[in-house]
């Protein structure tokens, strides 16, 4: 090798080494651009605050942010529904803020599909180029549920990527709110404060990952000066700077452990607990609940019982409504709890003892019963006004438990032990499952009555109404119905009719009968529970009792005599179909339950079926009776209501 060749190689090696060292140094310093001011808004055109929403949550957050920007900080913004906006006007904008929900399968909500698709198309169109939005600054906040895995806030993340690709400047990193993690409020508040800081001219510096605030520069400088080994692992993620908590990685660990050494978190977070208690729930331990039903109070006052009283002989004033699992695997559009309960696909929380759950539930229930003492009543006959001592004493000894309060009771791993404990006390059990856990249905011990919610009859409508977490929700639904056919005790399909959603599917519903061969089919009009950010149902979606009757009669007709309309409870807008061969004996319906006989059968340990503990249905509860399912021994009390409705 010649000296000149060696010299050339050494020079080249030195140059490469210097270059490598330089970039490593720059990477360590993490500075690509110097500090600068982001101008407030040189363009007098107001900023645009878009909300991409399906249930109203994102719109509500956008409205709050608008108030913070415009009213409190005098930063002009227009609140914009993307379906009324022409995306081709985006290059005219200088400030854009987007609050975006992620809907089913990681897709955008209905009101924003055109807007999102336009951005996706233009960002990949070479004719648009990477400078189309170079004069625009933007921020995106996502609303989603981490329980959906990879699609969590997929829309918000994609929007941030598209806008950056078109040359827009990101003011703050994409905020990611989790509606089911109890952190949406704090994350949104922290993110909003950062947005306001930037818009008011806060000093920022840009780096390879996003934006860092002047107040954070000092801590970054300290990181740069740390010469200790492994210092790179302590670098603060920019997500932390934009929010109010630990890094995303650390946040996941906190969520898993919830501060518990055994690594099992509690299902009921402080936020969930506060929301549920505000609605009147009594929380039991870490995952159960009990709540006194309005029908319990009604029958305590002699004003009538619920439809279960008419259909099955339940004494409503002796009925305890509870659940061992506040979590659910669906987010139904008609959820009367407004999605304040947690969601999940499997049991992943701390587990309480079933005996403790039953003891506490009864204790809390009886305390709520005692609080009704002295409640005034209005009677047409000269009985003692209000809650009588006799009914009060009966109410203090519950004889029935409706495991249907909220959530999914069979998610609780020790559900059989809990049912055994109730039966040991001769408390009957009605359990409702949402048809997403067929294997758990198969393993259930005998119940007094087992329900499966059949909220829709087709795959598409079930997905739209129940908004299930499982990708194979339809297969689980079908298998749950089939599992019912193997049960020997009383089984029920529960249909909730939502006008405009599932009231036209008579043929499809009738085809489901053969899968589970239920003893009964309860058909009930959806209950209107007021407006909320999670439900867009109105009184227009609530069917009249005449609508429910017509649907029930049509469904019975489709069964070709296998089922007939047996009972009704007009006050609850509810109708019962019963299997004719089993429960119509010598022309008389036997839908009621001999509860003492049921408990004797359970205690015997011998196999038994639904016909072994049926009882005669009183004439006033039979379909078409003048009483409409109202017990004549009770006194009718009609409350005047003022729901907003066009009908």
Rounded to whole angstroms, how far apart are CA atoms 322 and 400?
10
User: Is there a single domain that holds both residue 177 and residue 296?
Assistant: no
Domain count, the chain: 2
pLDDT at 111 over 80: yes
Q: How far apart are CA 127 and CA 399, in angstroms?
A: 73
Shared domain for 288 and 405, answered yes or no, is yes
Digit-coded pLDDT (tens) for 416-432? 999 999 999 999 999 99
Structural Rg of the chain based on CA atoms? 31
Residues 413 and 518 in one domain: yes
Does residue 165 have a pLDDT over 60?
yes
| pLDDT given at position 386 | 67
Could you write out the three-class secondary structure of 548-600?
HHHHHHHHHHHCCCCEEEEEEEHHHCEEEEEEHHHHEECCEECCEECHHHHHH
pTM (global) more than 0.75: no
Name the domain boundary from 167, 199, 231: 199
Same domain, yes or no: 62 and 150: yes
Check whether 521 has a pLDDT greater than 50. yes
Q: What is the DSSP string of 444-472?
A: PPP-SEEEEE---SSHHHHHHHH-BS-TT
CATH number of the domain enclosing 91: 3.40.50.360
**How many residues in total does the chain contain?**
647
Asked whether residue 632 is assigned to any structural domain, the reply reads no
pLDDT at 218 over 60: no
Give me the pLDDT at residue 252, please: 32
Is the pLDDT confidence value at 377 over 70? no
Is residue 525 scored above 70 in pLDDT? Answer: yes
- Which domain range does residue 144 map to? 47-199
pLDDT at residue 522, as a whole number: 96
Q: What is the pLDDT at residue 497?
A: 85
User: Residue 248: inside a domain, yes or no?
Assistant: no
3-state secondary structure at position 432: strand
3-state per-residue secondary structure call for 325-390: CCCECECCCCCCCCCCCCECCCCCECCCCHHHHHHHHHHHHHHHHHCCCCCCCCCCCCCCCCCCHH
Q: How confident is the model at residue 205 (pLDDT cuts 50, 70, 90)?
A: very low
Is the residue at 614 inside a domain? yes
Is 185 inside any structural domain? yes
Q: What value does the mean pLDDT take over residues 391-404?
A: 93
**Domain identity same for 189 and 320:** no
From 199, 215, 246, give the residue that closes a domain: 199
**Region of residue 422 (phi > 0: left; psi between -120 and 50: alpha; otherwise: beta):** alpha
Same domain? For 599 and 456 the reply is yes
Give dist(CA 500, CA 354) in Å, integer.
Answer: 41
- In this structure, the answer to whether residues 283 and 188 fall within a common structural domain is no
Lookup result for tokens 């089919």: 521
Tell me, what CATH number does 576's domain have? Answer: 3.20.20.70
Q: Assess if residue 83 is contained within a domain.
A: yes
Do 349 and 267 contact (CB within 8 A), yes or no?
yes
At residue 33, does pLDDT exceed 90?
Answer: no
Residue 216 lies in a domain: no
Identify which has the larger pLDDT, 453 or 389: 453
Q: Are residues 490 and 342 in the same domain?
A: yes
Is residue 61, in this structure, part of any structural domain at all? yes
Structural domain includes residue 363: yes
Residues 184 and 331 occupy one common structural domain: no
**Could you report the per-residue pLDDT of 459-506, keeping only the tens digit for each?**
988 888 888 888 899 999 999 999 999 999 999 999 988 877 677 788
């Amino acid at each position: 090798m010649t000296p000149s060749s060696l010299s050339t190689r050494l020079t080249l090696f030195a140059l490469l080494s210097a270059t490598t060292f330089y970039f490593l140094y720059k990477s360590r310093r993490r500075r690509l651009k110097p500090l600068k001011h982001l101008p407030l808004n040189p363009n007098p055109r107001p900023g645009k605050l878009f909300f991409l929403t399906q249930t109203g949550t994102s719109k509500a957050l956008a409205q709050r942010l608008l108030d913070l920007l415009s009213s409190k900080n005098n930063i002009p913004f227009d609140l914009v529904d993307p379906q009324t906006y022409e995306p081709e006007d985006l290059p005219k904008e200088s400030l854009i803020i987007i609050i975006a929900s992620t809907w089913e399968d990681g897709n955008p909500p209905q009101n924003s599909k055109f807007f999102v698709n336009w951005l996706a198309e233009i960002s990949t169109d070479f004719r648009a180029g990477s400078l189309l939005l170079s004069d625009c600054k933007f921020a995106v906040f996502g609303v989603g549920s981490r329980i959906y895995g990879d699609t969590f806030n997929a829309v918000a993340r994609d929007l941030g990527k598209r806008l950056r690709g078109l040359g827009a400047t990101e003011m703050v990193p994409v905020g990611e709110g989790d509606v089911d993690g109890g952190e949406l409020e704090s994350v949104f508040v922290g993110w909003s404060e950062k947005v306001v800081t930037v818009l008011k001219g806060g000093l920022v510096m840009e780096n390879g990952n996003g934006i860092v605030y002047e107040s954070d520069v000092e801590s970054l400088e300290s990181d740069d000066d740390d010469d200790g080994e492994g210092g790179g692992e302590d670098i603060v993620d920019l997500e932390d700077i934009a929010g109010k908590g630990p890094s995303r990685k650390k946040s996941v660990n906190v969520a898993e452990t919830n501060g518990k050494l055994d690594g099992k978190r509690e299902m009921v977070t402080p936020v969930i607990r506060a929301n549920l208690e505000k609605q009147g729930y009594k929380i039991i331990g870490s995952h159960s609940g009990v709540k006194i039903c309005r029908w319990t109070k009604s029958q305590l006052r002699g004003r009538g019982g619920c439809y279960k009283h008419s259909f099955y002989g339940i004494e409503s004033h002796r009925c305890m409504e509870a659940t061992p699992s506040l979590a659910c695997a669906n987010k139904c559009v008609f959820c009367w709890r407004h999605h304040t309960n947690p969601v999940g696909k499997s049991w992943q929380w701390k587990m309480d003892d079933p005996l403790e759950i039953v003891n506490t539930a009864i204790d809390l229930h009886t305390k709520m019963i005692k609080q009704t003492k002295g409640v005034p009543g209005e009677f047409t006959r000269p009985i003692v006004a209000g809650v009588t001592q006799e009914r009060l004493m009966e109410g203090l000894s519950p004889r029935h438990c409706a495991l249907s309060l909220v959530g999914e009771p069979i998610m609780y791993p020790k559900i059989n032990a809990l049912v055994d404990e109730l039966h040991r006390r001769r408390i009957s059990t009605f359990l409702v499952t949402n048809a997403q856990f067929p294997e758990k249905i198969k393993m259930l011990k005998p119940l007094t009555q087992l329900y499966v919610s059949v909220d829709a009859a087709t795959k598409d409508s079930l997905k739209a109404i129940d908004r299930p977490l499982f990708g194979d929700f339809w297969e689980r639904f079908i298998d749950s119905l089939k599992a019912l056919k193997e049960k020997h005790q009383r089984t029920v399909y529960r249909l909730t009719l939502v006008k405009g959603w599932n009231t036209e599917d008579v043929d499809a519903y009738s085809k489901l009968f053969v899968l589970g061969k239920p003893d009964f089919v309860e058909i009930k009009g959806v209950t209107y529970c007021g407006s909320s950010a999670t439900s867009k149902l109105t009184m227009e979606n609530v069917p009249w009792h005449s609508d429910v009757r017509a649907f029930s009669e049509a469904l019975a007709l489709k069964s070709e005599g296998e089922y007939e309309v047996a009972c009704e409870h007009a006050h609850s807008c509810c109708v019962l179909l019963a299997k004719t061969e089993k429960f119509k004996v010598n022309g008389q319906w036997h839908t009621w339950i001999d509860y003492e006989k049921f408990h004797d059968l359970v205690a015997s340990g011998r196999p038994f079926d639904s016909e072994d503990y049926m009882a005669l249905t009183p004439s006033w509860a039979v379909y078409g009776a003048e009483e409409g399912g109202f017990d004549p021994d009770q006194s009718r009390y009609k409350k005047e209501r003022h729901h907003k409705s066009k009908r």
